[in-house]
A and B are shown apart, each in its own frame.
Chain A
Amino acid sequence: MRRLIEDDENQINRILSREDEILPSSGFAVSVMDAVRREAAAPPPIPFPWKRAVPGLVVAGLAAVLALVAGVVAIGQLGRTSTSAQFPSFLSLPLSLPSLMPINFHGGMESAASWTVLALLVTFVSVKLSMRLASGRV
């Protein structure tokens, strides 16, 4: 039985060792060299413009930090207001929600409009700036 297993193994070795070799087609080397020349002729990849991107990244980082701080402050205020309210009932909760909102939500239409204009302005400036950066006119 053991000899049979060894024989099988030898047979498998023999079969898998005597694989027929295939020859490369006549144009293979030429085609590889064409691809290599194309690769060599191609302009080098454009490096990331760190110098130009750094100010934007810094501003974005600061904005993110400010938003985070504002969020934390708002949550803090929310917590203080809710703990100061004694025996809050579920019925009174929806009525008291507007008073828990940050100050800028109280201004009504005027405040909403000013925030919208500011958001549009920021978007416009960032789009313009990124387009100028992309076209290399800065």
Chain B
Amino acid sequence: MSATDDQADVERVLAGDIPAFEGIVHRWQGPLINLAYRFCRDRGRAEEMAQEAFLRAYRGLSQWRRDAVFSTWLFALATNLYRSELRRIPARTVSLDDIAEPADARASDGGFEDRDRDLVVRRAVGALPAKYREALILFYFHDMDVTTAARSLGLPEGTVKARLFRGREILRAKLTPRVAAPRLKEAL
């Protein structure tokens, strides 16, 4: 994904060549849908939200200032949209206290199966308060890059770091008895 390709396509679209927008859609459809999916955990809704994000990007192309990379602007726009969509119609989540232990809690190795454990952790992230959940989603989506996550969220890095710290703390408090129990047993 080249920034110059994005810039060239944007210039063409702004000059009236509407089909040039397809290049932008092809390059960014995967990331935008995946980001939306991490917010809502619903494939159909993720595509709807991503489509709306592309439409808004099309409408606001002239507002992209060239001092930032196009992808930074696009992710910030999409993140903003996804956050407000999720505020309007929240994703189906379970409360942190209601996250059930997997049926297979006593697996042969004394712990959870990997898949069950992953599911519990993801559900726990989904049940976090919005500000911590959003920081965690963006942080892991951007390969654990705080700077990029902060830009997408439109927040100072320090705020994002604080939210990540607090979010992880809540997760650890809720998950340690479930996820780390086997290791704790081993340590003892």
Contact = CB atoms under 8 A, between A and B. Distances in A.
A39 B22 contact: no
What is the predominant secondary structure among interface residues of chain A facing chain B? helix
Interface stretch (B27-35, B69-77, B97-105, B150-158): B27-35
Interface in A10-29: 11-13, 15-17, 19, 21-25, 28-29
Given A12-B168, A16-B136, A40 B33 contact: no
Nearest to A41: B18
B47 interface: yes
A106 to B, nearest CB: 57
Contact of B122 (A7, A15, A22): A15
Chain B interface size band reads 35 or more
Contacts of A15: 117-118, 121-122
Interface stretch (B3-11, B80-88, B180-188): B180-188
B37 A22 contact: yes
Contacts of B38: 19
Contacts of B51: 28, 31-32, 35
Contact of A24 (B29, B122, B187): B29
Interface residues of A, number: 27
B36 to A, nearest CB: 10
A39 B136 CA distance: 34
A35 B47 CA distance: 13
Interface in B47-65: 47, 50-51, 54-55, 58-59
A24 B54 contact: no
Contact of A33 (B21, B121, B143, B180): B21
Contacts, number: 87
Contacts of B180: 4, 7-8, 11
Interface in A21-71: 21-25, 28-29, 31-33, 35-37, 39-40
A109 interface: no
A21 B141 CA distance: 11
B122 A21 contact: no
B146 interface: no
Interface in B149-188: 168, 171-172, 175-176, 179-180, 183-184, 187
A51 to B, nearest CB: 26
B52 to A, nearest CB: 9
B94 interface: no
B33 A19 contact: no
A8 to B, nearest CB: 5
A18 B58 CA distance: 31
